[in-house]
Structures are given as C-alpha cells and as structure tokens.
A and B are shown apart, each in its own frame.
Chain A
Amino acid sequence: EDQVTQSPEALRLQEGESSSLNCSYTVSGLRGLFWYRQDPGKGPEFLFTLYSAGEEKEKERLKATLTKKESFLHITAPKPEDSATYLCAVRVISGGSNYKLTFGKGTLLTVNP
C-alpha cells in the first residue's frame, strides 16, 4: 500500500530560525512528488513538483529536495507569514493509465515573531 508520512506533525519556530520538514514515502512507481501550502479554512496552494532524486526547487524562503525515499522542505529565515500547514503528496499509478495523488497528513508550521 502506498504511504506518505510527514514529520513532524507540528513545528514552532522563531522568526529567522531555519528548519526542515520531512516527507517520507513508500510507493510503487513514483511519478512526481508535490508540496502544497494550506492556510486555515482555505484550499491548498501549489508550491513545487519534484520528479527525480537529486532534484531541487526553490521559491523565496522555501527549497524542496528529493531523494529516493523522502523529500525535504527547507525553510530559510522564516517569517510569520510562512505559518501554514504544508502538505506533501505523491503521484502514483492508479490502474491502467490513470494516476492519483496520495497525501500525507501535513505539518503545521507556526512562526512566531
């Protein structure tokens, strides 16, 4: 069974305190790993897609990396506005030529001023 595990479940940082969120996966046939940001009561906002081990993507204070078993979302010098739940999802084959996303439970990040 395909599994996606995010850790930690919750993370509190002081403004400027860099850290990383983890997404580990056990899937048969990865066809992409996605990071989304979700604010309370809103829909997820797309951040990154990674396909191959060694690939990196950056956007402002965020950098996503991928290995064969996990992905990290590195947050450099975070600001309070980075507070959100960060979701990781993997794209796997779901019968025939169909694909589906399997999501982790998310990491709730709080950045204190």
Chain B
Amino acid sequence: DGGITQSPKYLFRKEGQNVTLSCEQNLNHDAMYWYRQDPGQGLRLIYYSQIVNDFQKGDIAEGYSVSREKKESFPLTVTSAQKNPTAFYLCASKWAGADTQYFGPGTRLTVL
C-alpha cells in the first residue's frame, strides 16, 4: 500500500520526558512537514524538510526537533522544553514542484 504512516496512533508521556513521533512515506515524496492541531485552532507548522539532511523551522518550532536522514522518514521529537505538548500531530508530504500536501493519519499525544 502506498501512503503516509504515522506511529503510534496514541502516545502518552509523562512531564519531563522526550518522545519521538514517527512519520514514514512510500510515495517517493521529496518534502515532508510536521503540523500541530489544537481544538479551535488551525493547523500550525512545526518543521519542514524539502530534501534529505536539510530542514527548516516552521512557525512553532520551539521545544521540537527533527531529523531527515532518509527520504522516506521524518521523525519528530517532542522535548521536555515544549510547554504544552498535548495535541494532535500531523505529518504531511509532497513531491518537489507540486503544490498539494498529503497528510498522514496523525498521532495524538497526551501529557500526563
């Protein structure tokens, strides 16, 4: 099956812990993105990567880190520095030169 996968679907974290969210795609997309969705707010961009080994901060990068060692993978680490990490996290990807981003199923992170 072709598509974008995110794991886990649900994640619980204790305060002070770092957690890593997985995003994998087998669509041969070049660019990958991480968004955060909170109730009553629009999606907000955390980080994005247009090519392997390169990434840029989005609008709300503080408290997050990413890596892009492989074209198909773009993991997001939520660090203990993120003050309010409970949210729905969405990964997206697209081909270079194309405009449309396609989204994965999301990971819901809850801090206990």
Task: Encode contact with B along A39-51: 1 for CB under 8 Å, 0 otherwise.
Answer: 0011111100100
Interface residues of B in 1-40 (CB under 8 A from A): 4, 6, 40
Closest to B103 in A: A43
Q: DSSP class of B's interface residues: helix, strand, loop or mixed? A: strand
B56 at the interface (CB under 8 A from A): yes
B102 touches A42 (CB 8 A): no
A34 at the interface (CB under 8 A from B): yes
Closest CB in chain A relative to B93 CB, distance in Å: 11
Q: How far is the CA of A91 from the CA of B102 in the complex (A)?
A: 14
Q: DSSP class of A's interface residues: helix, strand, loop or mixed? A: strand
Closest to B50 in A: A98
Chain A interface residue count, CB cutoff 8 Å, equals 24
Interface size class of B (residues with CB under 8 A): 20 to 34
A105 touches B105 (CB 8 A): no
A44 touches B99 (CB 8 A): no
Interface residues of B in 60-112 (CB under 8 A from A): 88, 90, 92, 99-106, 108
B106 touches A43 (CB 8 A): yes
B106 to chain A: which residues have CB within 8 Å? Answer: 41-43
Closest CB in chain B relative to A37 CB, distance in Å: 11
A78 at the interface (CB under 8 A from B): no
Q: How far is the CA of A40 from the CA of B48 in the complex (A)?
A: 25
A4 touches B42 (CB 8 A): yes
B108 to chain A: which residues have CB within 8 Å? Answer: 41
A104 touches B42 (CB 8 A): yes
Interface residues of A in 1-57 (CB under 8 A from B): 4, 31-32, 34, 36, 41-46, 49
- Further pairs besides A100-B45, A101-B43, A104-B42: 7, Cβ < 8 Å: A34-B99, A42-B106, A43-B4, A43-B90, A43-B105, A46-B101, A105-B40
Residues on A facing B (Cβ under 8 Å): 4, 31-32, 34, 36, 41-46, 49, 87, 89, 91, 98-106
A-B contact pairs, 17 of them (CB 8 A): A32-B99, A34-B99, A41-B108, A42-B106, A43-B4, A43-B103, A43-B106, A46-B102, A87-B42, A91-B99, A101-B43, A101-B101, A103-B42, A103-B43, A105-B40, A105-B41, A106-B42
